[in-house]
Structure 1
Amino acid sequence: MDSIIQTYRLTKKFKDVEVIKPLNFSLRKGEICALIGKNGAGKSTMLKLLAGQLLPTMGEIQLFGKSGKDLDYARKRMGFMIETPTFFPDFTAIQNLEYFRIQRGIADKKRIYTVLEIVGLANEKRKKFQDYSMGMKQRLGIALCLLSSPDCLVLDEPINGLDVEGIMEIRKLLMKLNEENQITILISSHILTELKLLAKRFVFIKNGVIVEDLTRESLEQKSRKQLLLTVDDSAKAARLLEQAYADIQFKVLPNNQIIIENHVEKGGSINHMLVEHGVMVKEFRMEALNLEEYFLGLVEGKNND
């Protein structure tokens, strides 16, 4: 698969503080990749380096296989929304985009109407930017990113501050751009449950270092449901589980607790089987490690696996 973005030992220092430590990262064509990290983890700095808003201290950036002096040309194939775009409050969407079209030397005037149609603002021709909702403002920001017909979007917190409806609109829009227009997307956000619905890959960053890089399938595996049992005799319960299910995966914890990691859908049968064979089940519940818990464990050093 072709790499859209590739970094080699990318490093950024501010005075003596190394905000991005030698970082190797690649984004492949067609991906929706989520960049996840707490405030100060280095997310925005990394995206600003890709956008050319900051210069690296060391290392190399390649965009579409181009580097060095060719980067500026390659960036024309990218759409960046690193900070909330500054639009003219008294201008309509068309007037704002016309200003940026001229400023950026984009010849096709019809492109303005095309991108407004894509982001769902085609019917808001008379409304001024100052009267837009937060969701509409974010959609106009994405329309601006799309003005130059990019192959890749890099979006920093595009759903920050939106209500539930606004978040859903942006998610649907980004999925449509990826699926119908084959646009590759790199997105950062703090709204982790939303990222789980959108992204196909999850890159966790902490103190300027990528600490984990997971596919959606791997993340699902790590955040899968499990059964938690508290019994009066964990040794007997373990023997019964092994006899009943040859491939059962479980852990025996202190205080007669057992975590069962597979056959979760057979919880009722497992409970009945243990009770029938004289094991008192004091507690029986299903629990899932969600994305937020996994993320917090990862960036705060609680997860060891």
Structure 2
Amino acid sequence: MEYVLKTTGLCKSYRRYKVLNGLTMNVPKGAIYGFVGKNGAGKTTLIRLICGLQEPSGGEYTLYGTKHTDSKITKARRRIGAVVETPSIYPDMSAKDNLRLQYRTLGLPNFDGLDDILKMVGLEQTGKKKAKNFSLGMRQRLGIAVALCGSPDLLVLDEPVNGLDPQGIVEIRELILKLNREKNITVLISSHILDELSKLATHYGFIDGGKIIREMSADELDALCRKCMRVTVSSTAILAKVLDNMGLEYSVIDDTHADIYAKPNITHLTLALAKENCEVLSFEEHDESLESFYLSLVGGVVNA
């Protein structure tokens, strides 16, 4: 598998406080990588490091195979577009003028593609309207448009839907999916709105205490969080034998609890268990969300 970003044992300290403490992560090419963690876990610090806004205290990272200590890292960073914390826009300028200024900053020879970017983010009709008069969602989309100048391969978004209303969230979600699917842009996205992130991400990295504690694909997460029927019985050993005979998929949790990955005929199952002297104590539908899975990893209250 090809990776656009790899970090190995990455550390960042401020005096005695370690924000990143040996962080190792892998962002596959073409992925929408959901970066999940509590406030203070190190998400924004990692983003600032890979964008060249800060230097690590230890460890290393590579962008497109180029180590951060290599003289070519500046060229590799030009393949990144980023919106870190707040969109980098000029409020007294129109959307088009904001993009023109970014083109000049990047040293691009002309304004080719500028109108296409505005159309991509849905701001082609804003004309001379100043950015300060945009809605919050429009300003966020303009920030992404600025990040797209220079045709980046990797888009880094720090809390892109923070503070948006439901319509604004949907617009940003559709834009991210469009950029990923139509432009083949890899996206690294941190968000504390875990339900929204689950509608986007193809891969996840869960960070806690400055370390990645789990990396997985969306398919792997779905398998762990799949809907099931949780049953409590007097003996899961007997339950397993009965379920095997019925051809049902299941997983045993402990001596009295198991998950059945189907909707069995409860009457038939109960009667079959009764014949084996196994008592059924309860049935309940069970569906673990991204939020509950995250809490099971790190504990505490979600405050990503």
State the match for 1:99 in structure 2. 101
The structure-2 alpha-carbon separation of the partners of 1:59 and 1:249, relative to structure 1 and needing over 3 Å to count, comes to same
**Residue matched to 1:150:** 152
Amino acid at match of 1:261: I
Alignment of 1:60-79 (within 5 A): 60-67=60-67, 68-79=70-81
Taking structure 1 as the reference length, what is the TM-score of the superposition?
0.88
* Residue equivalent to 1:286: 285
| 1:223-242 equivalent positions in 2, closer than 5 A | 223-230=225-232, 234=235, 238=239, 241-242=242-243
Contact 1:78-1:151 at 8 Å conserved across structures: yes
Higher mean C-alpha displacement, 274-283 vs 112-121: 274-283
**What's the CA shift for 1:33?**
0.7
Given the superposition, is the C-alpha separation of residues 130 and 224 from structure 1 closer, same or farther in structure 2, using an over 3 Å criterion?
A: same
1:273 partner amino acid: L
Match of 1:44 in 2: 44
Q: Which of 213, 230, 236 is residue 211 of structure 1 equivalent to? A: 213
Q: Does the aligned pair in 2 maintain the 1:241–1:248 contact within 8 Å?
A: no
Deviation at 1:110, TM superposition (A): 3.1
Who is 1:200 aligned against?
A: 202
Q: Which residues in structure 2 correspond to 1:10-159 (within 5 Å)?
A: 10-67=10-67, 68-159=70-161
1:281: Cα distance to partner? 5.3
Deviation at 1:39, TM superposition (A): 0.4
- Worse-matched range after superposition: 25-34 or 46-55: 25-34
Q: Is the 8 A contact 2:83 2:158 kept in 1?
A: yes
Q: 1:107, CA displacement in angstroms?
A: 2.0
Q: Verify: 1:295 aligned to 2:297, yes or no.
A: no
Kindly state the Cα deviation for residue 286 of structure 1 after the two structures are TM-superposed: 0.8
Alignment equivalent of 2:269, drawn from 250, 273, 291: 273
Return the alpha-carbon distance in structure 2 between the equivalents of residues 224 and 25 of structure 1.
Answer: 25
In 2, distance between residues paired with 1:146 and 1:253? 51
Aligned-pair RMSD on alpha carbons? 2.4
**Cα deviation code 1:141-177 (max 9, x no counterpart):** 1100101111111111111111222111111111111
Q: CA deviation at 1:245?
A: 2.4
Cα distance between partner residues in 2 of 1:243 and 1:177: 46
- Aligned counterpart for 1:162 among listed residues 156, 161, 164: 164
Change in Cα spacing, 1:291 to 1:115, as seen in structure 2 (3 Å) is same
Q: CA–CA distance in 2 between the matches of 1:136 and 1:208?
A: 33
Contact in 2 for aligned 1:43/1:188 (Cα 8 Å): yes
Task: Give me the identity figure in percent.
Answer: 37
What is the aligned residue count?
296
Tell me the distance in 1 between the aligned counterparts of 2:206 and 2:171.
25
TM-aligned CA distance change 1:252 to 1:238, over 3 Å: farther
Give the alignment's TM-score, normalised by structure 2.
0.88
Is 2:240 aligned against 1:258? no
* Letter of the structure 2 residue corresponding to residue 293 of structure 1: S
Report the residue type matching 2:266 in the other structure. Answer: I
Q: Which amino acid aligns with 1:297?
A: S
Inter-CA distance 146–190: structure 2 relative to 1 (3 Å threshold): same
- 5+ unaligned residues in a row in structure 1: which ranges? none
The alpha-carbon distance between structure 1 residues 137 and 252, as it changes in their structure 2 partners (threshold 3 A), is closer
**Contact kept in structure 1, 2:248 and 2:260, CA below 8 Å:** no
SS across alignment from 1:125: coil
